[in-house]
Homo-oligomer: A and B are copies of this chain.
C-alpha cells in the first residue's frame, strides 16, 4: 500500500495537469450551445481511461452520451465496483462574480493552503479525476486493480439526468456490480471524512378540496355555505399533534429507531442545531419531541405542506367563499415506509375528515422509498477502515434528509446499493461563482480512493 500511496504523492503534479485539462472543457449540460463541449469532455474521459488500460467507450442516449469503461483484470473472485461520476458542470453565470475565468483553472493560495479554482473543480471533475488518479497509482505499481471496476460517467447530472434511466436500462447487463461508489459528496469537515449511509425518500400528493359549484359572495352565503379553505385548514391542522407527531394512522409503520451505534456516532459529531437553524433565521428544532435534531433531519419521516392556495390573493380583501382550495404536500420517508401506503393513508385521513358537501381530489407526484446502507455491509466496513487509515480518525456516518436521484436510480434499475463517500467541503461554492477544491482534499481524496480500492478487495 505504501508504494501505491507514494506513487499518488509523486504523481500529484501530473494529476493536477490532467485535471486542469479536463476543467478547461466548458461542458455545461444545461446550455445546448455547449453540447459539443460536453461530448468533448466525454471523449477526453474515455481517452484518458483507455490510456490507463481500461476498455472504454461512449454510450449514446437521446441526450448526451455516457462514458462506460471497464477494467476487469482482477478476475471473477474480486469484488466488482461500479464507480459513478459526471463529466458535466453547472453554468458559470454570473460571470462577473468570478475572480478568474471559470474555465481557466487556477491554483491559488487559501487559508487551508493551495486550492483549485474553476467551474467543476470539485463538482464533479475534481472528484472523478481524484478517483482515476488512485486507479492510475494502482496500475502503475501492480499493473492491475485490486477489484473489477466499471466506470460510468454521466453527462447530464447538472441538468436533472433526463437520460440516466434510459442509459441504465440500455446498459443494464454491462453495469452489473456488487455495489456503486459515488464520489460527489462532502467530508464532515476539513479533518473528518464522511460516508452518507441514509437518504430520505419522498412521496408527493396534492389535495384539492371542492365545495360550492362557483365562488360565492361571503355576505350572501357566509355562515350557511361550506368554505373549502376552512375545511382544508381544519383537516391539515390535525396532521400533527402538539408534540410534532404525525397523526396519519399507520404513518410510522415500519419506521425503526436509529440504531444505537449510529445514534452514538451522530451524537459525537457535535452538530449544533442552534447554529444550523440560526443561519436561516430560526432557533428551535420544530420536529418530533423526543427525537434529536439530527434524527429529525435524517432519520424521521416528515409531512410537509409545500404549498397552499385558495380564494383571493391580491391586495386588500375580497368577500369571497371560493369553490376550491388546494394544498401540495410531500412526505420525506425513511426505510421501512411504503410510499404508496403513506399516500393512501393520508388520503384516508383527509377523506374521513371531510365535512358534508366537501369533495377531495388527489393528484399524485413522484414516490420513492427511503434508503439506508446496512451497518453490516462489507463495503461500508471496508470504507470505514480505509478512511480511518488515511485520515487518522473514523469517518462520520451521516444521513441526508433529501434524496439523491442517482442513488434511487441505481436501486431501481440495477438493484444496487450505493456507497457515498466524497472529499468536497461545505464551503466549496458548488453551483456558485469561484467554485474550488482544496488541493489537500484532492490529494487526500486520491490517497483515500487508493486505500478504498484496496480495502474493498481485502
Contacts and interface: CB of A to CB of B under 8 A. Distances in A.
Contact of A305 (B221, B230, B286, B304): B230
A277 B224 CA distance: 8
A242 to B, nearest CB: 9
Contact of A401 (B222, B229, B238, B280): B222
A200 interface: yes
Contact of A306 (B202, B211, B225, B321): B321
B222 A304 contact: yes
Contacts of A319: 202, 304, 306, 330, 402
Given A297-B223, A304-B230, A330-B319, A213 B281 contact: yes
A365 interface: yes
Interface stretch (A91-99, A132-140, A309-317, A414-422): A309-317
Interface string A205-243: 010000111101111111111110110111111111000
A226, A280, A355 — most chain B CB neighbours (10 Å): A280
A284, A293, A304 — most chain B CB neighbours (10 Å): A304
A212 B309 contact: no
B277 A401 contact: no
A356 B306 contact: no
A216 B240 CA distance: 20
Nearest to A404: B219
Contacts of A189: none
A114 interface: no
Interface string A169-211: 0000000000000000000000000000000101010100001
Give the size range of A's interface with the partner: 35 or more
A322 B281 CA distance: 12
A308 B310 contact: yes
A309 B309 contact: yes
B308 A309 contact: yes
A234 B202 CA distance: 23
A403 B319 CA distance: 11
Contact of A357 (B227, B282, B318): B282
A79 interface: no
A230 B332 CA distance: 15
Nearest to A222: B302
A455 to B, nearest CB: 30
B232 A233 contact: yes
A211 B400 CA distance: 22
Contacts of A304: 218, 222, 227, 230, 319, 321
Contacts of A287: 223-224
A236 to B, nearest CB: 4
B320 A306 contact: yes
A434 B309 CA distance: 37
B365 A316 contact: yes
Nearest to A206: B317
A395 interface: no
A400 B330 CA distance: 43
A330 B237 CA distance: 20
B307 A218 contact: no
Given A213-B282, A227-B304, 5 more contacts: A212-B282, A235-B237, A237-B238, A281-B357, A317-B365
Interface of A: 200, 202, 204, 206, 211-214, 216-227, 229-230, 232-240, 273, 276-277, 280-288, 293, 296-297, 300, 302, 304-313, 316-322, 325-328, 330, 332, 355-357, 365-366, 400-403
